[in-house]
């Protein structure tokens, strides 16, 4: 009744079908790779130490 949805894996750009266990990734490796991007700081993550340092530095500048 519905056609299979196919997307491109965000990691390696391979075609991935909707019924893939790792959708929208093509494989467990690519799924882990994406999670690794978060863990390694590719995406910005607020840091309490950085916030504390920023507060101290703003006082120095002004
Ligand atoms: Zn992939």
Mean pLDDT by 10 residues, the chain (62 residues): 82 94 94 80 60 58 58
Residues with CB under 5 A from ligand 1 (ion): 9, 11-12, 14, 26, 30
- pLDDT (0 to 100) of residue 50: 55
Helix (H, G, I), strand (E, B) or coil at 62: coil
Cα(12) to ligand 1 centroid in Å equals 4
Cα(15) to ligand 1 centroid in Å equals 8
- pLDDT (0 to 100) of residue 36: 79
Predicted model pTM:
0.53
Structural domains present in the chain = 6-61 (3.30.50.10)
Asked whether the CA dihedral 11, 9, 33, 42 is positive or negative, the reply is positive
Residues 18-34: tens digit of each pLDDT? 999 999 999 999 999 98
């Amino acid at each position: 009744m519905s056609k299979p949805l196919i997307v491109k894996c965000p990691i390696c750009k391979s075609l991935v079908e909707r019924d893939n266990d790792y959708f929208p990734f093509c494989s467990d490796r690519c799924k882990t790779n994406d999670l690794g991007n978060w863990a390694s700081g590719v995406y910005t993550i607020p840091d309490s130490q950085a916030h504390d340092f920023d507060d101290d530095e703003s006082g120095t500048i002004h």
